[in-house]
Homo-oligomer: A and B are copies of this chain.
Amino acid sequence: MNLEPVAVVGASGYSGEELVRLLSRHPGVDLVALTSRQLAGQTMETVFPKFSGLRYSHLPFIESDVEKIVATGARYVFLALPHGVAAEFARPLVAAGLRVIDLSADFRLKDPVVYQDFYGEPPHAPELAALSVYGLPEIYREQIRTAQLVASPGCYPTSAIVPLYPLLKQRLLQPGSIVINSLSGVSGAGRNAKTDLLYVECNESVRAYSVPKHRHLGEIEQELSNAYGEAVTVSFTPHLIPVNRGIATTIYAMPANGIGLADITKAFQAAYAEEPFIRLLGEKGTPDTKNVTFTNFVDVAWRHDPRTGRIILLSAEDNLVKGAAGQAVQSLNIMCGWPETTALL
């Protein structure tokens, strides 16, 4: 396996930490830089004691500075930064010829109007958004292969798009009937010292939030619309639940005229039977976040409810792996021509 120099910019949050965990075990990766505004000068093991004793534990964090990053010789750069900040780094890095995998929302939305609608401000680098590839390998594998800029999907969108995309692509569902209900572990909210995210506030607590218009909705609808071939608008409600990791998503939709459970099953088989990270649990299985945490799998199951006529889709993933860092590494594997499951199984 050819060794590629890789940098992680903004490695102090949960997604950055998860990237470091995965890349430390990647046989093709030469991790040449970890950057962080606040942590520059500290070694990786000081910041993440859990990684002490691993391959890069003595690697020092450097400043999040474009020139310094380029100077490390990195050819691939992961951006694990807040939206807005990511664009500031992506622009010069892309200009310098590096290939960038961005985990923020900066490049996910192709339409600047949609970005403005969901983020309350104009996109930070719309010219790059137009060129970027949405980093969901199960849909955009070929484009990722040659992409210079990958916009790695959000955690909720991955859990919703994976089950819905093939069904909408084949027009098996009535798009106006789609209701997406998601439950996420607390790491999805980031390593932010906010009172609401304190242990005592989250433990023994369950709550919906951002009802009815969470930011990830724009991204979900963009991809569902792509699949369906016309604009799709859906309901989406995220909930915070007391686990560290994991998203469980339950989706309700009316089938298109004449469509039955067998059609759904067939569509899933056709789309995902060969996918290494999509596990089809079928018409009787039940996804459980504990089966996917610390893995890059998305588990998917489905039901038909004869009483209401609805199709019910169930998915589970790890928000930090398939929902963030793992999916980004999956893109890296594709970009580098490595086996797609490298460091992910």
Scoring A201, A233, A279, A299 by chain B CB atoms within 10 A of each residue's CB, the highest score goes to A201
User: Which residues of A line the B interface, CB within 8 A?
Assistant: 14, 25, 49-50, 52-55, 176, 179, 181, 183, 185-187, 191-195, 197-209, 211-213, 233-235, 237, 239, 241-246, 248, 250, 252, 276-277, 279, 281, 285-295, 297, 299, 303-305, 307-308, 310, 312, 314, 316, 345
Q: A237-B312, A288-B207 are in contact. Are A198 and B200 (CB under 8 A)?
A: no
With A181-B250, A197-B198, A235-B252 as contacts: A206 and B288 at CB distance below 8 Å: yes
Q: Known: A179-B252, A237-B312, A312-B235. Is A204-B244 also a contact (CB below 8 A)?
A: yes
- On whether the beta carbons of B199 and A303 are closer than 8 Å, the reply is no
Docked pose: A293 CA to B204 CA in angstroms: 9
Question: Is A314 within 8 A of B50, CB to CB?
Answer: no
Within the complex, which residue of B237, B242, B292 is in contact with A242, where a contact is CB–CB below 8 Å? B242
Q: How far is the CB of A322 from chain B (nearest CB, A)?
A: 12
Contacts of A207 in B (CB 8 A): 248, 286-290, 316
* B310 and A235 within 8 A (CB): yes
Residues A246 and B179 in contact, CB atoms below 8 Å apart: no
Contacts of A183 in B (CB 8 A): 183, 206, 239, 241
User: A187: nearest residue on chain B (CB-CB)?
Assistant: B200
One complex includes copies of this chain to the number of 4
Structural contact, B248 and A208, CB atoms closer than 8 A:
yes
Given contact pairs A50-B292, A176-B308, A203-B242, enumerate 14 new A-B contacts (beta carbons under 8 Å). Answer: A50-B290, A52-B297, A183-B183, A197-B199, A198-B198, A199-B203, A203-B203, A204-B243, A206-B241, A206-B248, A208-B248, A211-B312, A212-B312, A242-B242
Shortest CB–CB separation between residue A204 and chain B, in angstroms?
A: 5
A191 touches B199 (CB 8 A): no
A314: which of B52, B201, B211, B294 is its contact (CB, 8 Å)? B211
A54 to B202, CA, bound (A): 23
Closest to A299 in B: B49
Instruction: For A292, give the chain B residue with the smallest CB separation.
Output: B50
Known: A205-B290, A243-B242. A198 touches B199 (CB 8 A): yes
CA distance A246 to B11 in the complex (A): 26
Q: Contacts A54-B345, A183-B206, A200-B186: A234 and B308 contacting too (C-beta < 8 A)?
A: yes
Q: Distance (Å) between the CB of A289 and the closest chain B CB?
A: 5
Give the chain B neighbours of A245 by CB distance below 8 A: 204
A151–B207 alpha-carbon span in the complex (Å) = 29
Query: How far is it, in angstroms, between the C-alpha of A243 and the C-alpha of B187 when the chains are bound?
Result: 17
Complexed CA–CA distance, A234 and B309 (Å): 10
The closest CB in chain B to the CB of A290 belongs to B205
- Taken together as a complex, chains A and B put the C-alpha atoms of A287 and B197 apart, in Å, by 16
